[in-house]
């Protein structure tokens, strides 16, 4: 699955564009992303922009596509009118769509941009570990390939040095769940 995050101004002009590829989703084949990487494909971005321009769309949009293996073209899945769970990856890559939308909303100057770093990873490690197990069962991912995919610059879905509380809380909840299951199994 491919996703293009875009902000269109009041005249339906794109002020910010960012693309990512969902490499792993859970449940496999149709779920939400657990591992994404930023990438640039002019054809994909142009297709998304055409859809929004022809409809005179304004504001935030997440345009999702699937690539058809029969003809190698992108097929529209849906247009979301909100931020997705990994849209923050754009800011990590140098394309802060939320900030650009904020500035435009306040009528502050904004320079249109479509330049960002590619190959940066967004990772929800807890969900991606479950996804890796599921992909492995299907025979489409090895443990070696999974570990190898984790290399490189990344953005953690929950953990952040600048905002550690969600990560601390999440880790606490994981430990709590684990201990709850451990002790409920031992009592049987």
Residues 139 and 179 in one domain: no
Does the CA dihedral 154-59-44-128 come out positive or negative? positive
* Regions of the chain with pLDDT less than 50: none
Residues 88 and 113 in one domain: yes
Residue 112: what pLDDT?
Answer: 84
Measured distance CA(21)–CA(16) in Å, rounded: 17
Residues 89 and 169 in one domain: no
**Total structural domains within the chain:** 2
Residue 149: what pLDDT?
Answer: 95
Measured distance CA(51)–CA(177) in Å, rounded: 44
Residues 152 and 177 in one domain: no
Measured distance CA(61)–CA(18) in Å, rounded: 11
Q: Measured between alpha carbons, how far apart are the two ends of the chain, in Å?
A: 43
Residues 77 and 145 in one domain: yes
Residues 148 and 168 in one domain: no
Q: Return the SS3 of 37.
A: strand
pLDDT digits (tens, 9 = 90+) for 155-169: 998 877 888 787 788
Strands (E), 53-177: 59-68, 73-80, 121-123, 154-156
Dihedral of CA atoms 80, 10, 95, 19 in degrees, nearest 10, equals 40
Please answer whether residues 94 and 117 qualify as being in contact, where contact means their C-beta atoms are separated by less than 8 angstroms: yes
Provide the domain limits for residue 44.
2-157
Residue 61: what pLDDT?
Answer: 96
Residues 9 and 52 in one domain: yes
Residues 95 and 174 in one domain: no
Residue 177: what pLDDT?
Answer: 80
């Amino acid at each position: 699955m491919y996703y293009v995050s875009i902000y269109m101004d009041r005249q339906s002009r794109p002020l910010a564009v960012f693309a990512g590829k969902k490499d792993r989703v859970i449940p496999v084949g149709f779920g939400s992303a657990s591992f994404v990487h930023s990438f640039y494909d002019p054809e994909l971005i142009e297709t998304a922009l055409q859809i929004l321009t022809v409809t005179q769309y304004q504001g935030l949009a997440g345009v999702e596509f699937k690539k058809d293996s029969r003809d190698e073209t992108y097929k529209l899945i849906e247009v979301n009118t909100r931020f997705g769970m990994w849209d923050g990856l754009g800011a990590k890559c140098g394309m802060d769509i939320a900030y650009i939308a904020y500035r435009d909303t306040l009528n502050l100057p904004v320079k249109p941009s479509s330049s960002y770093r590619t190959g940066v990873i967004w990772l929800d490690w807890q969900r991606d570990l479950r996804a890796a197990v599921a992909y492995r069962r299907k025979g489409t991912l090895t443990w070696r390939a999974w570990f190898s995919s984790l290399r490189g610059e990344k953005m953690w879905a929950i953990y952040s040095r600048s905002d550690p509380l969600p990560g601390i809380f999440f880790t606490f909840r994981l430990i709590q769940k684990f201990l709850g299951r451990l002790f409920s199994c031992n009592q049987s």
